Structure formats: C-alpha cells, structure tokens
Structure 1
Amino acid sequence: MTPVLELAVQDVAGARIARRAGAVRVELCTALGATGGLTPSLGMIEAVAAQGIAVHPLIRCRPGGFVYDADEIAVMARDVRAAVSAGAAGVVLGALTPDMSADRDALARLLDGIDPYAVEVTFHRAMDVVADRATAIDTLARSGIIRVLTSGGAPRCIDGLDALSGMVAHAHGRIQVMAGGGIRVEDIAAVAGTGVDAVHLSARRTVTDSGGPGGGSGGYDAVDESLARAAAAALGV
C-alpha cells in the first residue's frame, strides 16, 4: 500500500499548498524551525480548519524534552480540548516518564474526554528518544492512539530505515507508523520502501524578513509549493 502524504505547516498558505499538492492532512504548529514545533494559536487552528484539509495541531507547550510536570500536562490537556473545539480533526502529542518510556498516565490526562473514534491522535517524535521503541508501540497501541511519528531514532529518516522497517513489523497493523524527520524528496522512495503508512515532511523554505532589534532577524519558514508537489509525485499522489 502506498504511504499517504502529511505536511507540517505553520499557516493558512501552507495548508492551501498541502491541499493542492494532495496531502491528506497537515500537522499545524508554530516555531517549527527554531524549536521543533509548538502549539499554534486557536485563531490559526480555526483558519486552517476552514481550508478543506484535515488539520492536526501539535500540542506541545514548550521546547526541550518530553517529560512534563502536572501543570504542563494540565495546560496541554486544555489545549487539546480547545483545538478540537476549534475544528481540529486530530491532535499530535506525546509525553514520557523520566525513564524515557511512554507516559500512559499523562496520555490519559491529555486525552480525557476526547472521543478516539472522532479525533485522531498521533504520538509525536518523543518516540525517537524512548528507551524501548517496541514497548512504546505496544503501550500506544493499547492507549487508543492511531499513529506514531518517527525517524526510527535517527537524525534523518534516511539514516533510520532499518529501525523504521522494524517498527512497522512490530506494529503489525495495530498502530500506523508515519516516517518523519529530515526527509528530502530524493529520500522518499527509500523511506516508503520500509512499509510505513505515511510520509511526513515540512517542504519548507526560509523567507528573509528581518524584524529589527525587537522582532528577530532570521526571517520565517514557509511551505515551498514546488517541494510539496515533488514530494507528492515521489509518492505517486
């Protein structure tokens, strides 16, 4: 079965490009390049949800590791409920215990009151720092989570092909495995060959636009439509 395409986007324009390119959904976040992604605003979720493509906001309250205290979990649980109310078709989240295992209790609190049959839940790349990915897959499959986003623990998916193949085999259809992490268009065929259910990439370019001394000088990221379409073509979308 050919993997589907998911694009990571940060704005309405990116969602429109994803829809035109043939992506089945978008992961919506903010500060992707600088932090790996944080929770987007409710206004952005509402605006992207109106673009005719399934939007799955990232629920992540801060950069850094994935071991959270009670206050952080409470905030992210509110963000989950708010995102769903704003039109999200799914959410992307994750939490680990101090020993780097999937945190079942935290996940239960994050998803309290959320209908798993109506809202798709993806466990994000916290998977790439867990101590035992096979055990984590077992835990997540029992938690009502539909898919996991992973590079196979490698800096880039192309360096984690064996691990991705092993995760697909271990999951055995109980949970989807979506490859994501440093994927270039030329990597897609090899990544798809591992048997993953989906391929996730940002297809982004940097727009130079200095904000001066108070607004930052690094510009901002935007989805590159030519890269998005090339990724879709590489998957046969």
Structure 2
Amino acid sequence: MTALEIAVQDPAGAENARAGGADRVELCSALGATGGLTPTLASVEATVATGVEVHALVRTRPGGFVYTAGEIAVMAADIVHLVSAGAAGVVVGALHDDGSIDRGATAVLIAAARQSGDVQVTFHRALDAAADPVDALRVLGGLGVDRVLTSGGARTAYEGRAVLSALVAADTGVQVMAGGGVRPGDIGALVALGVDAVHLSAKALVDDPGSSGPGGGSAAGLETTDPALVAAARRALR
C-alpha cells in the first residue's frame, strides 16, 4: 500500500498527522518560510513520544543545496544527535553546482545516519534541482539511499507526473515519494504512476494569539497540521 508521509513542525502536528492516518512524519522547522530546516532535539524527542515514526529533515539554512565542507560536517553531527533523540530516519540532500549529486557529501551524511543502526535515509527535494533526475536516482541507489522526495522538478507533484513516472520506471530500488503541492484530489493520479509514497504538509493557518512585534517576522498566521486534510489524504490512498 502506498505510504502517507506528512510534513510537520511540532509534536502537535505529529499528533494530528497520526490521528488522520499518517504512516510517518517528516519533522522540520520553519517549513512555510524556508521550505524546512533542521528541527531542535527537544522537538524530535517530543514528537517521537507521540508514537508516530519520525524522519528528521537535516538542512542548516534555506536556499540551494551546494554546501561547503563545514556545512556538511555540521549536518553530519546533527544527524548523529537526531538519531540519538529517536529519529527513525533522516532527510538530506547535497548537489554540485552543475546539478549533479554531490556523492562525497551524500556519503558522509549517510554514514552519519547508519553508524547508529538501521536508520532510513531520504534524499529530499534537492532532486528537483538536479540536472538529470533519473541519472541522479541511479547514483543515489548506488550510495544506499532508501527513498527520494520529489515533485518531478515541477511546481507541484501533479504537474511533474511525467518525470515521476520516469523515476518509477527506472526501477532503481530507491523508493519514489511524490511531494510538492499535493492535495488529496491529486493522490489518485499520483498513486496510478506507481509511486511508493505521497508526502504533503496538510497545513492550515490559524490566528497568532500574540503580536510578532518588529523582531518576530512577517508571518500572517501560525501554521498547523490539519487532521481533516490528513484524513482526506488517507481516504484517497484507500
């Protein structure tokens, strides 16, 4: 059965995802503002305590996916701590400036994850910036990545169906998880491609109970995981 992964930012979101029928969550911080950054250790521990399977995003900054050796070293150290905090998987990605997979950096991140046991590794939407996603998928299979998260390089996974289909057809042994602007109504078409999982944030905005002031950012509201959207996604998978 196609798995359902929900991107969440806190334990409350994980509770909502679990209640709606998610198989696992990707935990990150600053999702809407940045596309997601590494969560805190305390948030990982508290999210693991909800009982849902937690995969932690590892990304030190917003922007592109070409990293310095120093940035990779920090992310590798983060991975060790995140796994120790209970993460069952990590979500990583690194490219060269020509759009090819940074094999050396990716291998370092995988090694950091696997030194603590059978930890799953997902290569995130850096794949959508790859010059040749099918070739990149083959490289990632050789490196030992378990799955990729991708919209097929398009604005949404639904719009990227042709590339997603090619990734599935490549039959590399790497799971293909469709994500990026996914709505419950899109899920049937994505499942028909043969993807192994679908990924969505299922988020809603709620009023901020306090003023952000001049130093709190410009968010119009607080993002929360909507259990009704998660449940709708679960029904679409059935």
Partner of 1:211: 212
Give 2:179's aligned residue. Answer: 180
Structure 1 residue 115 displacement after superposition: 2.2
Q: Could you say which residue in structure 1 is the equivalent of 2:71? A: 72
- TM-fit CA distance, 1:208: 2.3
After superposition, residues 45-60 of structure 1 pair within 5 angstroms as 45-60=44-59
Shift of 1:146: 0.3
SS across alignment from 2:185: helix
The one-letter code of the counterpart of 2:148 is V
Which residue of the partner structure matches residue 223 of structure 2?
221
Provide Cα deviations, 1:153-182, integer angstroms capped at 9, x if missing partner. 100011111111111001x15100000000
Q: CA deviation at 1:195?
A: 0.6
Q: Deviations over 1:187-216 (max 9, x none)?
A: 111111111000000000112214222223
2:234 maps to 1:232: yes
SS at match of 1:157: coil
Between 154-163 and 208-217, report the one with greater CA deviation: 208-217
CA root-mean-square deviation: 1.2
Which residue in the other structure is 1:152 paired with?
152
Secondary structure of residue in 2 paired with 1:5: strand
In 1, the alpha carbon distance for the partners of 2:147 and 2:134 equals 14
Q: CA deviation at 1:185?
A: 1.2
Q: Which amino acid aligns with 2:75?
A: M
Residue in structure 2 matched with residue 28 of structure 1 by the alignment: 27
Gapped runs of 5+ residues in structure 1? none
Deviations 1:133-152 (A, max 9, x none): 11111110011110000000
CA contact (8 A) 1:80 1:111 kept: no
**Percent same amino acid among aligned pairs?**
57
> Gaps (5+ residues) in structure 2?
none
Query: Alignment length, in residue pairs?
Result: 234
* Other-structure match for 2:2: 3
Q: TM-score, normalised by structure 2?
A: 0.95
Tell me how far apart the structure 2 counterparts of residues 10 and 202 of structure 1 sit (CA, whole Å).
9
Alpha-carbon distance in structure 2 between the residues aligned to 1:13 and 1:60:
22
Distance across 2 between alignment mates of 1:160 and 1:94: 19
Query: 8 Å contact 2:77–2:112 — kept in the other structure?
Result: no
2:162 aligned partner:
162
Partner amino acid, structure 2, of 1:100: G
Give the structure 2 partner of residue 129 of structure 1: 129
1:114-142 deviations in Å (ceiling 9; x for gaps): 32861000000000010011111111001
By how many angstroms is 1:111 displaced? Answer: 2.5
Would the aligned equivalents of 2:66 and 2:95 in 1 still touch at CA under 8 Å? yes
TM-score w.r.t. structure 1 length?
0.95
Moved over 6 A (4+): none
